Amino acid sequence: MSSQTPSGPLSSSSTCGAESKACTSILDNDLYKFTMQQAVRQHYPNTPCDSRFTNRSPQLARLPRKALPWLQQKIQDMAKLQLTDDERLFLETRCPYLTKDYLDWLQNEFRFRPEDQIKIHWKNHPRDSSATAKESSSTVLGVNSSESAPGQGCSQESTTDDLIEITIVGEWHHVILYEVPVLSLVSEAYYSFVERNWSYEGQFEAAKDKAERLILAGAKFAEFGTRRRRDYETQRIVLQGLVAGGSSSRLGEGLPQQQQQGLLTGTSNLHFAHTMNLIPIGTMAHEWFMGTAAILKDASQANQVALDRWELTYPGQVLGIALTDTFTTKVFLKTFKGALARDWTGVRHDSGDPFEFMDRIIQHYDEDPLVGPELRRAKKIVFSDGLDTDLAIRLHQAAETKGIQASFGIGTHFTNDYRQLDQEKSKSPAMNIVIKLHSCAGRECVKLSDDPSKESGSVEAVSELKQQTGAE
């Protein structure tokens, strides 16, 4: 196994398992977690919540017990993280919408407390789906249990029925930053302890090629791959490849000037934005709307209130891309009209058919008397759902033809795009994992989405929310 320096792409002989630097900076996280943390702290301070981990495809990839000590130790080590002076200066420079009051609190008061805030359970699900799931053992970080303590080893035996359950509990503004780093650690644990039939070889070149293709096509895109990256080193290599692709001397040769408009706009990861001098990209996530709905106890007003309070925190449309699909885009557009449609910079697509979404948004803007076809041409759609290079290029071309701005947040296709070493034509699949807000202010949180497979919440809570919002 080759050792690698942190400054350049790995050699062709590199194999998986380079020494991890995951979560060794508080900024190894996505920007929108910090923007939401500031907004939650302003509008919903001291609000209790809990979030829960879900593996959407456990039949393809699940974490074994032998990976638990590493995962526990990495999560426990987050307690040591704090914003450094240099990192604060970066945030002040690159993210001026983060206030001095918030940054003072983040640097001087905020600390992760995983011993109190994160619980990891093992749950055994019998093969007979009609049987009741029985909890076999549990581990709470910092508390002795039937599992071995971090760093002391554990049983290497694991059955195919073992499922890991992670719960994050605490006041919303204190625990909101866990989601992305915990997901990235679960993914890295899986590819360090289970699926090891892969290599870093070719990752730099593949990322460079993807960037060149996107830029030659005229697409504007950002790297959004922290949460499901194969590991920290992969994201570093990929970003280096994307930067190299963006500065390639052969780009644009033979093309008219108007076609040379593609651009790597930045990365969602604040740490890499800092260390690689990139622009940090991000606004809000579904939990902003989900938590607002729970606190209001009436989801019919949640989209309006969430947008209004966001604008109070970030006036002047400095972060003016609205996420549409938390309770379905159909419901969102009932609110997103008039002054809201006119004033907000644009919308983000995160579920459902992206081409149908584009047509729906264009029609919505065109039919709004405060927007219309002329202003619509300046509006933007940010696509961020399951993109690859080909799909992003097709969407960019469609947007150009139909007369609306488009940009792309590309995640797993950049940071977890591998093939198995011994089967070059076989993909090494990425884990499909999420952490979603489960309850807020004592009330269950619900996400509907434009894709039924992404829906979250109990049957009763989903039914109630659909009745409140008129969602079908």
Which residue from 184, 203, 185 is spatially nearest to 418, judged by alpha carbons? 203
74 and 170 part of one domain: yes
For 262, the domain range is: 203-423
Residue 270, burial from CB neighbour count under 10 angstroms (0-12, 13-18, 19+): buried
- Among the listed residues 330, 357, 98, the one whose alpha carbon sits nearest the alpha carbon of residue 346: 357
Q: What CATH number is attached to the domain comprising 261?
A: 3.20.140.10
Q: Model's pTM, two decimal places?
A: 0.89
Residues 210 and 129 in one domain: no
Please state, in angstroms and rounded to a whole number, the distance separating the CA atoms of residues 459 and 465: 10
Compute the distance between CA of residue 387 and CA of residue 56 in angstroms, rounded to an integer.
Answer: 18
Distance, in Å, from the CA atom of 198 to the CA atom of 176, rounded to the nearest integer, reads 32
Q: Are residues 229 and 192 in the same domain?
A: no
Nearest by Cα to 284 from 370, 361, 384: 384
Both 276 and 295 in a single domain? yes
Q: Which two tokens stand for residue 58?
A: 């456990």
Helices (H), 247-352: 270-275, 286-296, 302-313, 329-335, 339-343
pLDDT in tens, the chain (472 residues): 333 333 333 333 344 555 688 889 999 999 999 999 999 999 999 999 999 999 988 888 888 889 999 999 999 999 999 999 999 999 999 999 999 999 999 999 999 999 999 999 887 644 333 333 333 344 446 433 333 333 333 333 444 446 899 999 999 999 999 999 999 999 999 999 999 999 999 999 999 999 999 999 999 999 999 999 999 999 999 999 999 998 864 555 555 545 557 999 999 999 999 999 999 999 999 999 999 999 999 999 999 999 999 999 999 999 999 999 999 999 999 999 999 999 999 999 999 999 999 999 999 999 999 999 999 999 999 999 999 999 999 999 999 999 999 999 999 999 999 999 987 778 899 999 999 999 999 999 999 999 998 899 999 999 999 999 999 7
Task: Look at residues 169, 198, 227 and tell me which one is the last residue of a structural domain.
Answer: 198
| pLDDT for res 153 | 33
The answer as to whether 2 is a domain residue is no
Tokens of 429: 């699949």
Pairing of strands 433-440, 443-444: antiparallel
* Residue 450 covered by a domain: no
Among residues 170, 198, 226, which one ends one of the domains?
A: 198
Residue 171 sits in the same domain as residue 219:
no
Tell me what pLDDT residue 142 has: 42
pLDDT for residue 148: 33
- Nearest CA to 395 out of 410, 376, 378 is that of 410
